[in-house]
Amino acid sequence: MKALFIGGTGIISSAITRQLSETDGCELYLLNRGNRNESLPANVKVLQADINDESQVAKLIEDLSFDVVADFIAFRPEQLERDYRLFHGKTKQFIFISSASAYQKPLSDYRVTESTPLANPYWEYSRNKIACEEYLIKQYREQGFPITIVRPSHTYDERSIPLGVHGSKGSWQVARRMLANKPVIIHGDGTSLWTMTHNRDFAKGFIGLMGNIHAIGEAVQITSDETVTWNQIYAAIADALGVKLQAVHVSSEFLAACSKEDYTGGLIGDKANSVVFDNAKLKRLVPDFVASTRFDQGVKQTVAHVLAHPECQTEDPEFDIWCDKVIDALQGAIASVKGR
């Protein structure tokens, strides 16, 4: 199999790249700007270019054709229009990475399948993903473009601790607060249901869809079957850090109203909703798929890696101050209502 990944070094794609590099009979190309290629396996071929420079990319792939092309970094319809111009007639399968956040919010049923309606009025990111899917489906129906749409949910790797509420510089500051025995914010009451998927497990499902004739024209979600609450998620992270969790629960609406971050989209349009994913379709298409990394085990590996690699520890003092302000405001409101 000859495959081209646009991107290939991100949270979702890096594990796929590693696993494919160890697979006999797979010739893998990555098309990216070369910013994070230093740790790529030696047998991965790099086409160094900016995918947005369409003429340059067209010259690079002029004499190439592929069994699979996968775009991991497309977020808007015009980017898929570019991909169609570049790869129509050059690939037997085009895989687009959409998002489970595109599913209906609020959900009419917390059990999510590929048939769950796509509608998210809270998050532009999700609406753009929906528009991308609609464009590709049109090309499949009218032009025979061989698409497969993949919908990941919250997928994590060893480089960043997965959380619900963090600042624009990542999640390290929350871990730092835990290590300092400071309170951390959990959205809502922490009992909503969520799914965390390790990128190693995601890669198993994704590779099973590559070159799979039954996946053409289909949308498929890839997640773990494990369901956890946000309280359990934060408790597992605290345990991995070797500290006691000091949690403060704050409503998602309040967080969205008083933050510069996009918590309206990220929380109300995504993480504040209870979701349980039904992966029956994936398992029908990829019969040997099983997500084998339990969250408390996977996050221990992530925490160990982050603690051992200072480059993963980006401090965010502005977010730290904001957390203190939110917690102080909440405690002050409680005191005021009680008449103290």
CA distance 117 to 103: 6
| Residues 172-195+227-273+295-334, CATH architecture | Alpha-Beta Complex (3.90)
What are the tens digits of pLDDT across the range 127-158? 999 999 999 999 999 999 999 999 999 999 99
Q: If you average pLDDT over residues 158-173, what whole number do you get?
A: 96
List CB contacts of 304: < 8 A, sequence separation 6 or more. Answer: 240
Full-model pTM: 0.95
In terms of CATH, what superfamily is 2-156+197-222?
NAD(P)-binding Rossmann-like Domain (3.40.50.720)
What are the tens digits of pLDDT across the range 207-233? 999 999 999 999 999 999 999 999 999
In 3D space, the residue among 322, 174, 191 whose CA is nearest the CA of residue 240 turns out to be 174
What are the tens digits of pLDDT across the range 173-197? 999 999 999 999 999 999 999 999 9
Please report, for the chain, the start and end positions of each structural domain, with discontinuous segments joined by +.
2-156+197-222, 172-195+227-273+295-334
CA distance 228 to 236: 10
In this predicted structure, what is the pLDDT of residue 9? 87
Fold match between 2-156+197-222 and 172-195+227-273+295-334?
no
What are the tens digits of pLDDT across the range 97-122? 999 999 999 899 989 999 999 999 99
Residue 17 confidence class, pLDDT cut points 50, 70, 90: very high
